[in-house]
């Protein structure tokens, strides 16, 4: 999904594009407040400053000269809409001036209590899923404020905030504190820790023929042994760009080479490269296994990435355009207007039946794939409901400099139903454990390996 750094780059792109398209520079000396994200933008003669705001302070996230690297969705006197290359448009409302704290920041150190209040108020204004997570946020304030008033160290504050994060139970909430403030976890008794890559390798060796891989294993494909069923495992919704030659795909320094090329590309180009990479590899995959009557898409080990990549991949397995999801963002005044996403099928889409394998480790952008896929009758699902964390990660900062993130975007299906917290359900339930270690271990019995999903699919064929 669209990340924090990319959002900053979007603004840089948008401002530059507008400067080129509008000779009179209608951006000059304007101020804008972003709807639903707690951020604002100041544009002067030829430079911009982008701020992260809360109820106590206002901090510049990025600033510099305008550079033409983006397309504006719309612009008028009072509203600016930017699209960051994803499926969500970002809406800015014009204001006469930024909050005074943006131009005259208070340099005084904030107390533990003030930091706690900023944390609580930021969630109160922007977090979208208290009801889905069964959290009484006002009660959290009443329960923890008396404790905060008694603390005397940063370590105590960090422990309290971590306790609150754990109570919410959202995988997209993170709290970044200095290493010296982190609580050491006692080492448990030795257990066998299965690795994801070992399971992926075992599936390929036990069940597949005509095996292929791309970009260091981000996507793998082949056919199930003794069947006419195609198999496609997608491990990530990132890193599809064709930056490294196929000859180097197994080299130990693949990631280093990939990142070197990626870092040399402008941010918008990086996202275009991802989509081009999907198109390129999907043509090869369908050429290899496209004649099969059915195909398995394995997302059980996919923790997410870019929603644009996920939906582009799905477009190769659907036969018609459909409204598959909507997105809105939480604000202190309610929610922003819903933005509908219509999935368009690829020009050369797969024609057979599709079975998607899901687990509790299927998260974020991989869940968006599953959410959109359930609108198509040729697609069935097997495994266990997904993780239930769809939103983009919105990064914020406390007055003391600690960074934290939250979920502020609400993804719903075409009927307006959200699966946040519960996850996308499956048709054929296999009761996988929600615990990652237990899930990985479930593939093994002693020294033996078996995949009950793959066994069921082969028996049906």
**pLDDT tens digits, residue range 302-361?**
999 999 999 999 999 999 999 999 999 998 888 999 999 999 999 989 989 999 999 999
Chain-centre distance for alpha carbon 348? 27
| Confidence class for position 9, pLDDT limits 50, 70, 90 | very low
Tell me what pLDDT residue 246 has. 78
Tell me what pLDDT residue 29 has. 85
Q: For residue range 236-259, what is the model confidence (pLDDT) as tens digits?
A: 999 999 999 877 766 788 999 999
Window from 108-112, 150-154, 430-434 with minimum mean pLDDT: 108-112
Q: For residue range 373-427, what is the model confidence (pLDDT) as tens digits?
A: 999 999 999 999 999 999 989 999 999 999 999 999 999 999 999 999 999 999 9
**Quick one: average pLDDT of 142-171?**
96
pLDDT-above-90 percentage for the chain: 66
**Quick one: average pLDDT of 72-86?**
83
Q: Where in the chain is the domain with CATH 3.90.226.10?
A: 196-388+423-460
Give the separation between CA 15 and CA 37, rounded to whole angstroms: 19
| Confidence class for position 192, pLDDT limits 50, 70, 90 | low
Tell me what pLDDT residue 223 has. 95
Tell me what pLDDT residue 20 has. 45
**Quick one: average pLDDT of 107-121?**
91
Q: For residue range 277-300, what is the model confidence (pLDDT) as tens digits?
A: 999 999 999 999 877 889 999 999
Is pLDDT above 60 for 436? yes
Q: For residue range 94-106, what is the model confidence (pLDDT) as tens digits?
A: 999 998 888 777 7
Tell me what pLDDT residue 404 has. 96
CATH superfamily of 196-388+423-460: 2-enoyl-CoA Hydratase; Chain A, domain 1 (3.90.226.10)
Average pLDDT, the chain: 88
């Amino acid at each position: 999904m669209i990340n924090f750094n990319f959002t900053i780059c979007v603004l840089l792109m948008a401002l530059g594009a507008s400067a080129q398209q509008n000779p009179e520079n209608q951006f000059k000396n304007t101020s804008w407040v972003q709807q639903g994200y707690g951020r604002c933008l100041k544009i002067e003669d030829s430079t911009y400053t982008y701020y992260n705001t809360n109820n106590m302070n206002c901090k510049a996230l990025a600033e510099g000269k305008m550079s033409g690297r983006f397309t504006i969705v719309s612009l008028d006197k009072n509203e600016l809409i930017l699209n960051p290359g994803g499926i969500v448009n970002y809406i800015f409302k014009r204001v006469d001036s930024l909050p005074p704290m943006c131009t005259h920041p208070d340099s005084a150190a904030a107390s533990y209590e003030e930091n706690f209040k900023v944390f609580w108020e930021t969630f109160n204004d922007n977090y979208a899923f208290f009801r889905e997570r069964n959290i009484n946020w006002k009660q959290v304030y009443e329960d923890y404020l008396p404790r905060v008033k008694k603390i005397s160290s940063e370590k105590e504050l960090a422990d309290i905030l971590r306790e609150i994060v754990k109570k919410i139970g959202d995988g997209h909430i993170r709290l970044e504190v200095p290493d010296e403030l982190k609580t050491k976890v006692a080492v448990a008794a030795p257990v066998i820790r299965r690795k994801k890559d070992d399971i992926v390798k075992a599936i390929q060796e036990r069940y597949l023929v005509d095996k292929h891989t791309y970009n260091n294993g981000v996507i793998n494909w082949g056919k199930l042994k003794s069947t006419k069923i195609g198999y496609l495992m997608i491990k990530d919704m990132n890193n599809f760009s064709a930056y490294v030659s196929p000859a180097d795909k197994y080299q130990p320094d693949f990631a280093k080479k990939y990142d070197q090329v990626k870092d040399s590309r402008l941010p918008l180009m990086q996202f275009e490269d991802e989509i081009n990479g999907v198109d390129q590899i999907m043509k090869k995959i369908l050429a290899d296994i496209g004649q099969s009557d059915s195909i398995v898409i394995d997302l059980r080990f996919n923790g997410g990435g870019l929603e644009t990549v996920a939906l582009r991949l799905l477009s190769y397995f659907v036969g018609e355009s459909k409204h598959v999801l909507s997105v809105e963002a939480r604000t202190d005044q309610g929610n922003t207007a819903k933005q509908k996403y219509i999935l368009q099928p690829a020009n050369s889409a797969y024609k057979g039946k599709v079975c998607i394998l899901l687990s509790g480790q299927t998260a974020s952008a991989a869940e968006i794939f599953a959410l959109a896929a359930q609108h198509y009758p040729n697609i069935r699902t097997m495994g266990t409901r997904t993780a239930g964390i769809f939103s983009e990660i919105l990064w914020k900062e406390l007055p003391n400099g600690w960074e934290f993130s939250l979920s502020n975007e609400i993804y719903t299906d075409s009927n307006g139903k959200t699966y946040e917290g519960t996850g996308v359900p499956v048709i054929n339930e296999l009761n996988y454990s929600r615990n990652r270690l237990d899930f990985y271990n479930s593939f093994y019995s002693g020294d033996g390996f078996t995949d009950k999903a793959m066994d069921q699919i082969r028996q049906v064929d």
